């Protein structure tokens, strides 16, 4: 007997339908905001994901890296941005006459971390990347897309947290000040942060272990250069203009090392999700395109973890109205299935979702099946119906029953649906 590998899971029917619902609405939002969907390979050369001096847990501890021929180092995609940018550069999208290039994805990701609720080793992310232009309008639009998507799904208790990590100069200055501040207290930091102190002290600010400490709470704040401050003020202005509620969180640095200027998270304040769970996050990156071999071009994006979104959506009860429904169930009471079987196929060819009995069960058993499947119209095919070339329809909502010629069936069902929804 085999079982799923730790950190992976089967997506069974009901959850699959819910997954699809989340994804379908996301695809709708992609098109509303002018994004085209792309799919990148599940594995890439390790260098696509692993940058020099990257201190993030994802890169240092969690990647599935393998070498099938003992020569190339390959890695299963742990996040979406790097592959999209690799594709942007490889396909020379940066040279297009129309910039920015707006790309969206819905893809499986792989990270070897300790599985917990809403966090699997194989998981799905829906994300966007807007590449090739840097403008506060774009930052605000990207946040608006994500926020409005979450609100349209029906999640109520959400808010946007934003921060600016500044431009290269702001960050360089800030790094120096943080290093100066933390260095005398190195021993008080966790092992990871002692390492981060050398490579990227900003990451200490959102360390899961040290985050709550007095030392981190009293750390100096970022001072933005004039240009970065103006940029951040403009982003906030456009968010105000769109009526998107946000809070500034100056400890928000995000888990990855490559962010510059705007970073943001949309968090749930629903109690079921813990005190304040991140629904999704993202930010701007000035140097990723260049690091991947392209020109110096900025980009911005975010990614939503679908597994976590499922839990939140369930907690807020937004799935109730999505119970699957069957249009028609064909009950056959004849020894031969031919007549009923042909009708079922005709209904499907006319866009009615349809099921039928395969086993010649009793009338009662077939009715029970139709109820379990939440059927709108039950079609009864008895001896009389076959002899007279008719069908008996039972409308399970109005309880009305009628017998009519087989060739009138499709038109009649259309009419019943239309009358009902008027």
Within 30-69, which residues bind Zn ion (CB under 5 A)? none
Q: How far apart are CA 139 and CA 348, in angstroms?
A: 46
| Contact code string over 2-21 relative to Zn ion, x by CB under 5 A | --------------------
CB of 191 to Zn ion, least distance (A): 8
Write out the E strands in 50-200.
65-66, 74-76, 101-110, 122-131, 158-164
In the bound state with Zn ion, the residue whose beta carbon lies nearer, of 207 and 312, is 207
CB of 202 to Zn ion, least distance (A): 12
Phi, psi of 181 (to 5 degrees): -70, -45
Task: Read off the tokens for 123.
Answer: 């998981």
Stretches 10-18, 154-162, 189-197, 212-220: which one binds Zn ion (CB under 5 A)? 189-197
In the bound state with Zn ion, the residue whose beta carbon lies nearer, of 192 and 316, is 192
In the bound state with Zn ion, the residue whose beta carbon lies nearer, of 210 and 286, is 210
Among residues 21, 25, 190, 311, the one that binds Zn ion under rule CB under 5 A:
190
CB of 324 to Zn ion, least distance (A): 46
CB of 200 to Zn ion, least distance (A): 12
In the bound state with Zn ion, the residue whose beta carbon lies nearer, of 122 and 194, is 194
Q: What is the helix (H) or strand (E) element at residue 349, kind and residue range?
A: helix 338-349
Stretches 73-81, 193-201, 225-233, 373-381: which one binds Zn ion (CB under 5 A)? 193-201
In the bound state with Zn ion, the residue whose beta carbon lies nearer, of 79 and 210, is 210
If you ran DSSP here, which 8-state letter would residue 92 be given? T
In the bound state with Zn ion, the residue whose beta carbon lies nearer, of 256 and 340, is 256
Residue pair 49/62 in contact by the 8 Å Cβ criterion: no
Residue pair 130/88 in contact by the 8 Å Cβ criterion: no
- Strand-pairing partners, residue 120, are none
Among residues 109, 193, 253, 379, the one that binds Zn ion under rule CB under 5 A:
193
Nearest to 165, CA basis, from 88, 235, 260: 260
In the bound state with Zn ion, the residue whose beta carbon lies nearer, of 207 and 344, is 207
Per the rule left: phi > 0, alpha: psi between -120 and 50, beta: everything else, 276 is beta
In the bound state with Zn ion, the residue whose beta carbon lies nearer, of 206 and 327, is 206
**What sign has the CA pseudo-torsion 246, 252, 254, 259?**
positive
Residue pair 43/89 in contact by the 8 Å Cβ criterion: no
CB of 57 to Zn ion, least distance (A): 11
CB of 36 to Zn ion, least distance (A): 39
CB of 115 to Zn ion, least distance (A): 22
Stretches 51-59, 151-159, 163-171, 191-199: which one binds Zn ion (CB under 5 A)? 191-199
* Helices marked H in 12-157: 13-32, 46-49, 57-61, 81-90, 136-153
Stretches 79-87, 178-186, 200-208, 284-292: which one binds Zn ion (CB under 5 A)? 200-208
Residues binding Zn ion: what is the number (CB under 5 A)? Answer: 5
Residue pair 22/28 in contact by the 8 Å Cβ criterion: no
CB of 217 to Zn ion, least distance (A): 14
In the bound state with Zn ion, the residue whose beta carbon lies nearer, of 209 and 242, is 209
Within 204-263, which residues bind Zn ion (CB under 5 A)? 207, 209-210
Q: C-alpha 255: how far from its chain's center?
A: 18
DSSP-assigned letters across all residues of 351-418? T--EEE-SS---HHHHHHHHHHTTEEEEEEE-HHHHHHTEEEEEETTT--EEEEEGGGHHHHHHHHHH
The residues binding Zn ion (CB under 5 A) are: 190, 193, 207, 209-210
């Amino acid at each position: 007997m085999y079982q799923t590998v730790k950190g992976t899971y089967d997506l069974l029917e009901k959850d699959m339908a819910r997954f699809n619902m989340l994804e379908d609405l996301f695809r709708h939002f992609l098109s509303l905001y002018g994004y085209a969907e792309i799919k990148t390979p599940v594995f890439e050369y390790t260098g696509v994901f692993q940058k020099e001096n990257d201190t993030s847990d994802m890169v240092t501890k969690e990647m599935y890296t393998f070498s099938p021929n003992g020569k190339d180092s390959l890695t299963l995609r742990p996040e979406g941005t790097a592959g999209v940018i690799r594709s942007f550069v490889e396909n020379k999208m940066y040279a297009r006459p129309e910039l920015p290039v707006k790309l969206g994805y819905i893809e499986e990701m792989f990270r070897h971390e300790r599985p917990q609720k809403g966090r699997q080793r194989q998981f799905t992310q829906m994300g966007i990347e807007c590449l090739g232009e840097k403008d506060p309008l774009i930052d605000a639009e990207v946040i608006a897309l994500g926020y409005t998507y979450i609100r349209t799904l029906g999640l109520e208790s959400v808010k946007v947290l934003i921060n600016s990590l500044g431009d290269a100069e702001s960050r360089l200055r800030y790094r120096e000040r943080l290093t100066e501040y933390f260095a005398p207290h190195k021993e008080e930091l966790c092992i990871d942060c002692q390492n981060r102190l050398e490579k990227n002290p900003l990451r200490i600010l959102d360390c899961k272990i040290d985050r709550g400490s007095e030392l981190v709470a009293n750390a100096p704040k970022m001072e933005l250069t004039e240009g970065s401050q103006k940029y951040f003020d403009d982003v906030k202005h456009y968010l105000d203009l769109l009526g998107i509620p946000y809070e500034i969180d100056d400890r928000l640095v995000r888990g990855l090392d490559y962010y510059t200027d705007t970073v943001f998270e949309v968090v749930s304040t629903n109690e079921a999700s813990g005190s304040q769970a991140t629904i999704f996050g993202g930010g701007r990156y000035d140097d990723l395109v260049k690091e991947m071999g392209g020109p110096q071009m900025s980009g911005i994006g975010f990614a939503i973890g679908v597994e976590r979104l499922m839990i939140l959506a369930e907690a807020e009860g937004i799935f109730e109205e999505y119970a699957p429904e069957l249009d028609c169930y064909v009950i056959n009471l004849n020894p031969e299935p031919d007549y009923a079987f042909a009708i079922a196929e005709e209904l499907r060819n006319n866009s009615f979702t349809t099921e039928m009995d395969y086993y010649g069960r009793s009338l009662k058993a077939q009715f029970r099946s139709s109820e379990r499947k939440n059927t709108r119209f039950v079609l009864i095919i008895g001896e009389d119906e076959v002899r007279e070339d008719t069908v008996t329809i039972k409308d399970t909502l109005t309880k009305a029953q009628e017998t009519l010629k087989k060739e009138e069936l499709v038109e009649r069902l259309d009419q019943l649906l239309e009358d009902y929804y008027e």
